[in-house]
Amino acid sequence: MAAEVESRIPLSRMRVLSTAIGVADTSGIEALTMRRLAELLGVEAMSLYHHVANKEDVLDGVVDVIAGEINEVVADIDVPAAGAAWKQAVRQRILSAREVLLRHPWAPGVFQTRTNTSQAVLRYYDGLLGLMREGGFSYDQTHHAMHVLGSRALGFTQELFDPGDGPMDAEAMAALDGMAEALPNLVGMLREVAHDDPDSTLGWCDDQFEFEFALDLILDGLDRLRETA
């Protein structure tokens, strides 16, 4: 009966995009194909092309939908941003955006591959810049700030090291030992920080802590820039 009801719901672009997000959330972005979407929607693949041009259009669309979800969340944040309060307002906005992206862990990779401009993403950045302007930053300073923050402004980063989703096991530690002579400082750091943290958003180390640590360093530096203007 549920399938029959689903099949009677008119096909639309939003329904296609919502289904695509569901596939990616459940099985990863690699599982998202036009054929899979058609099967889940109970239609022929050709029917999809009345609403989305191709898979790239689907990916552009899901970025819009998720950015829209972020905009809805941050719109509910009602905190002062004038003067020194800008830093906490911006921090809360960025971490709220990150909470949305953590519910769609595949999404940052899709955001990074898009060449078409998402109006929803631009609205997010416009709001972020508005907070900084309210805090006393000039347009020139906000321009520099956006370059410094990069993707972190939207709640994610592309990490330099990606050790995987699990703790350092005996095999991985042995591999590190084999590199110790050639890379003593890097191996020393990795030995020191390798641990299994059950509360981590990454697995190998506490990605949330590292994100907030870097964000706070950046915001503190930008605040000093604002004060010297």
Q: 36 or 2: which carries more pLDDT confidence?
A: 36
Tokens standing for 168?
């350092």
Tokens standing for 116?
């078409």
What pTM, to 2 d.p., does this model score?
A: 0.84
pLDDT exceeds 60 at position 121: yes
Residue 112: Cβ within 10 Å count: 10
Separation between Cα atoms, residue 88 and residue 86, nearest integer Å: 6
pLDDT exceeds 70 at position 49: yes
Average pLDDT over residues 145-161: 88
